A = this chain, B = another copy of it.
Amino acid sequence: MHPLPVMLDRLVVIGVGLIGGSFALALRKTGAVRHITGVGRSHENMRHALERGIIDEIAPDIVSALHLADFVLLAMPVGQTENIMTQIAPHLQPDTIVSDAGSTKQDVVTAARRHLCGNLKNFVPGHPIAGAEQSGVLAAQGDLYAGKHVILTPLEETRTDAVETTVALWRACGAKVSHMPVDEHDRILAATSHLPHMLAFTLMNHLCKSTDTPENLLRFAGSGFRDFTRIASSSPEMWRDICLANRSALIGQMTAYQHELNILMNILENGDGEALQKAFSQARRMREDWLNRQDQS
């Protein structure tokens, strides 16, 4: 993280958990922000945030928190987006920048268009792609975003300088910032993140129904199985919200995946070894090419 001149006077983080807390912590360390106010439901969590020096104050209420805010990060569970936007809209200053950290974007943009109205020019939808196996402010780390990707999906209404400030803040956290259209973001994340989660959850639920006891069935499951199913240990609440938010793109991906699985089943049913090997080789090549590109970047 490169040290920086002060960029913000007052930052407000709504939802001071792993994501919001790590954002505050990283900016605090760079000295890019003078004062950080935290807004949250859990008294205990907010007290921890204060004790760890992640925030300077716990907002008594949203109104006073927003009074002098330069930048507001929405980092609460995406299920609360509508509710929070309704609450903050009336109290936002004309130039207060609002951004978010949700894993899906179309739903957030729709909510913003419905509730932020006049402040839409100040809204910068964002998605930091950073692991979140634990949650809560105690899991927050100042380097959570170091080297990680952050995708911004600005609206045509969004002010250029609002986008620039948001980019600068994420870069100050050590993140690599990219821009893309809302629909492209949701489509790509559905394919490479949401679909694999559905497939892993489904494998475990399929195995639940086996006539063999879980003990017998999984006794010999090895490292390949452990890695393949790791994402099936993700938070059910968080993934419920993500799936509902990105429902149509995800259903499209699952339908196309089933089609692909049917193709492989037909090859198997025909006992076509050559076609099988070709399919497996293509899959491996696709993955190896990706790994090679990663090593280069």
Contact = CB atoms under 8 A, between A and B. Distances in A.
Interface of A: 129, 131, 149, 151, 178, 184, 187-189, 191-193, 195-210, 212, 214-234, 236-237, 239-241, 243-244, 247, 250-251, 253-258, 260-265, 268-269, 271, 273, 276-284, 286-291, 293
Contact of A198 (B221, B230, B256, B264): B264
17 contacts: A131-B224, A151-B220, A184-B212, A188-B212, A199-B199, A201-B264, A202-B260, A205-B260, A205-B286, A215-B293, A226-B291, A227-B227, A241-B273, A251-B265, A251-B269, A258-B261, A258-B262
A189 to B, nearest CB: 7
A60 B205 CA distance: 53
Given A199-B199, A201-B264, A220-B149, A193 B225 contact: yes
Contacts of A273: 240-241, 244
Nearest to A251: B268
B225 A227 contact: no
A250 B261 CA distance: 12
Protomer copies: 2
Contacts of A201: 264, 279-280, 283-284
B221 A193 contact: yes
Most chain B beta-carbon neighbours within 10 Å: one of A216, A224, A269? A224
Contacts of A239: 276, 280
A256 B203 CA distance: 10
Given A129-B222, A192-B220, A269-B251, A281 B236 contact: yes
A237 B283 contact: no
Contacts of A253: 206
A195 B228 CA distance: 11
A182 B291 CA distance: 38
Given A216-B188, A228-B227, A284-B232, A222 B204 contact: no
Given A204-B284, A208-B283, 14 more contacts: A131-B223, A131-B224, A178-B220, A191-B206, A192-B221, A196-B229, A204-B283, A204-B287, A206-B256, A214-B290, A227-B227, A227-B228, A234-B284, A236-B276
